[in-house]
Amino acid sequence: NAGVTQTPKFQVLKTGQSMTLQCAQDMNHNSMYWYRQDPGMGLRLIYYSASEGTTDKGEVPNGYNVSRLNKREFSLRLESAAPSQTSVYFCASSTASSGNTIYFGEGSWLTVV
């Protein structure tokens, strides 16, 4: 009963490096999301995918790209990491049949130095 699985859990990057955060859900949900969480600012939406084959920008998309690889997987890519992207990243998923409740993964801690 994994739910939403994210990898890696911890990562340290140097400024300018690139990396991809992976996310997979096993709940057959249609919609998937990437949020970031910073102290005092709550969770902010980066990108979301309403269904397989579609992606849209959220509140803070600059510096990120996403890929909805299939119904289960939704990856987040940082092309050229910046210290401002130091944060905790959460992947999440939802579907209408579950009342559109969003279920979260355990988080990925990213530090850019």
CB-nearer residue toward another protein: 17 or 44: 44
Q: Per-residue contact track with another protein, 46 to 75, x per CB under 8 A? A: --x-x-------x-----------------
The one among 45, 61, 63, 67 contacting another protein by CB under 8 A: 45
Contact partners, residue 85, CB within 8 Å, separation at least 6: 63, 78, 110, 112
- Spatial separation of the C-alpha atoms in residues 13 and 72, rounded to whole Å: 27
94 binds another protein (CB under 8 A): yes
Q: Cβ(5)–Cβ(103) under 8 Å?
A: no
Residue whose C-alpha is closest to residue 70's, from 28, 18, 9: 28
Q: Per-residue contact track with another protein, 20 to 39, x per CB under 8 A? A: -----------x-x-x----
Q: Could you tell me the two tokens for 16?
A: 């300018």
Q: Which residue has 């279920």 as its token pair?
A: 103
The one among 4, 46, 76, 78 contacting another protein by CB under 8 A: 4
Contacting residues toward another protein, per CB under 8 A: 4, 31, 33, 35, 40-45, 48, 50, 58, 90, 92, 94, 96, 99-107
